[in-house]
Amino acid sequence: MITSPRSFALGALTLFLCVPRPCAAEDFHPSDERAGRIAAEGGGALAGTVVGGLAGGGLGCLFDGGNDREWGCLAPGLIGAGIGATVGIGAGVYLGGNLSGANGGLGWTILGESIGLAAAIATLVISELKPSPLLIGTLAYLMPVAGAIIGYELSTSVRIEATDDSSAPLTGSGFGFVF
């Protein structure tokens, strides 16, 4: 029985990380059509960014509280759009990959995106140069997208055909990490 918000959060996290991924076709191999799949994941990241950014911006303005400022709901809308776009990257990569026939994990995708975002922030903080706004935007978008795609691709599982020999050892049992 869940007795506290902390145990509920731990239970939800455990469920999120340990739910098995759906299996693709029996003859799926991660190297099959990888370029097309990565293009689909990149398109999914772009679509997820747009949809998540618009939804987050709208929610930010909705929960603004009706404050009467000169710029209206610009600040809460931008904050909501940033959060929505960040969530949309991982969801878009995962959806694009699954629609193209792969079976990567959502948790690994979001972990890769988070590592990419941390790397972008660290690069901008450590850099002694004063980067242009174009460089900041490029790093802030492309590094999380690259991290999400790498995380998704690394989490795809390989299916190996079983041999007909019943005395053969259990090789290629399909065991893999689910995250």
pLDDT of residue 172: 46
Query: Cβ(78)–Cβ(60) under 8 Å?
Result: yes
pLDDT of residue 20: 45
pLDDT of residue 65: 65
Alpha-carbon gap, residue 86 to 60, rounded angstroms = 14
Alpha-carbon gap, residue 46 to 99, rounded angstroms = 15
Give the orientation angle of helix 34-62 with respect to helix 133-154, to 10 degrees.
Answer: 120
pLDDT of residue 67: 65
Closest CA to 123 of 113, 133, 131: 131
pTM above 0.75, yes or no: no
The confidence band for 42, taking pLDDT boundaries of 50, 70 and 90, is very high
Query: Cβ(28)–Cβ(73) under 8 Å?
Result: no
More confident residue, 135 or 18: 135
pLDDT of residue 131: 74
When pLDDT is averaged across residues 44-64 and rounded to a whole number, the result is 91
pLDDT in tens, 119-160: 988 888 887 667 788 888 888 889 999 999 999 999 987 544
Distance of CA 175 to the CA centre of its chain: 22
- 112 Cβ contact list (under 8 Å, min separation 6): 147, 148, 149, 150, 151, 152, 154
| Number of C-beta neighbours around residue 103 at 10 A | 20
Give first-to-last CA distance, the chain, whole Å: 24
